[in-house]
Structure 1
Amino acid sequence: MLHNSDIPGWLLIVASISLALGVACAVLVAADIARHPQPMRVMNVVWPVCALFGSVLWAAAYFWWGRAQRPTAADDAQDMSGMDMSGMDTSGTDMPGMKMSSSDTSGTGMPGMDMSSSDMGGMDMPGMDMRPALGLSGRPHSRPVSVFVGTSHCGAGCSLADLIVEWTIFAVPSVAVVGGLHWLFSDELYAGWVIAYVVALIIGIAFQFFAIAPMNPQRGVAANVAAAAKADVLSLSAWQIGMYGAMAVAQLAVFPAWLGDRVAVDTPVFWLTMQVAMLAGFCTAYPVNWWLIRAGVKEAM
């Protein structure tokens, strides 16, 4: 296994610059999200995580397509402009996001209230805002952009899983036994991939759940978890195929032939390779996400 002292200096510099740029982009995106929270809350995590490997490209995508607009008092007033609440008494009635005065809500109907032309942007749906995040472009997402965002959503779970698993196995090598080391594989690399895939599934399904549950509260938790798994398993598997494939080429062929061995996890070159592998994963997952969204299996973003 190659460590920093075994790797050409120029390659370490290139890798370090690429990693620093990715971290800087992630921090920039996270700082902007703090001031412009995403309508779909899980995207508050997705965009910065994707910037770690996507660097400038994903930061630009966030600002152009994904940045949310900060709600203003004028926006809230416009959201309620379509409601006629005259003659209604809502004393004792609590409707979050709505202010109603002097109306009568006795009975099953709500006389005096006209909601046909209203925009319910003032109401609160947990985990979701009614204003879409359209970025600086200000335009609704086209199918290619929607698929880009959906694929990034999938990739964030994979990225987090690999960060967690690679460093965990590096710190505690015996963890690899859980993935099959010594009883299924003789190589720690494959055992790590097994663990990373399982962890990615758990994180990915959780991310998918928090994306679709606010849009489908009537289905209940169990049904939304099942829908999240249905939407994410194929997408995540496609991502991991591309990512693992790229890592395999690098660690099993390129580095041994070029430098004499694989590069260790604690080197910048390993994580530069992971950045490239994540981009490969995006490429293999993009067409799968296109099909899933077109088929209605996965929600468009």
Structure 2
Amino acid sequence: MRFFENILFGIILTACLWSCGHVNSARTILDRAEMCLEAHPDSAFVELDMLDRRMLDTPELRARHALLLSQALERCGIEVYGDSIIHVALDYYDAVGDSANAEKARACLARIRENASLLAPSDTLKRQNARIIEERYSDKLALVRKDERIRWIVLAALLALAALAFVIRAVVRKLRSRPDDRAMAVIRERLAVLDKIIASRISSDDRLYRSSEEELDVMMADREEFLRSTKILFEENHPRFTAYLAGKGLTDWEIGYCCLYTLGLKGKDIGEYIQKKRHYIISHEIRQKLGLDEHDTNLSIYLRELLLETER
């Protein structure tokens, strides 16, 4: 789950960086075109016309491009008789209250209308050329809007995936918070014994005391089962701890053995309980799997510190 979230975060971050990169590149091109607009309007026009419209992914960039393109067309002597291009700039600058650029756009609009008023009905070639320029601009602008829609759809999909990942993670956490059937069986068994021990301490009835002691002895007598059930409880309550030990190659029995250390028992106590003559060999094998040599810390101390560390 964490791997999936990291991948998703990486995709969103990449999309943001890609968008920022486009904005910065577009600004650089527009700055360059504006600087050479007076001295070399033809170069400015070519640069503005060849600019990938998908890089103009903000209203401010599109407005600035429309204004500079209109100015470049005028300085190159290319007459335009429609106001569709300049209105992209004028509408934006009026909306944001940029009076300086709005005034420039109005000046361009006035000259466009003046050119249109002087155009003779028979000048079909001029009309056709002007229409080609405007259609070329509008077609490229349509591509930008289409690209914007796609980008918003992708962003919405990514956000939906992020929300889905969050929901899945919450559900998984909720499911993990419930003990599994094996753990519940062990918990019920041990709670039943604990209840009887508590009752025997409260009561003065010796029979109740003897009964609780007998049940405790029965539960402790099956040493293999006790180690197994202890390991199950630790898996439920301390999953990172048991997962770490399993990752080091410890068997289920060895993990249960280590759990006894974390309960506060000493190696000698554990050896007497499990009644295995090779107790020291078992401890040595576990130390080897954990990467501890003979000069490292005591196994009991190491395991208790490991438990605390994995709980942080």
The answer to which structure, 1 or 2, has the higher relative contact order (CA under 8 A, 6+ apart) is 1
- Tell me whether the two structures share a fold, i.e. TM-score over 0.5: no
Instruction: State the TM-score, normalizing by the size of structure 1.
Output: 0.25
Structure with greater helix share of residues? 2
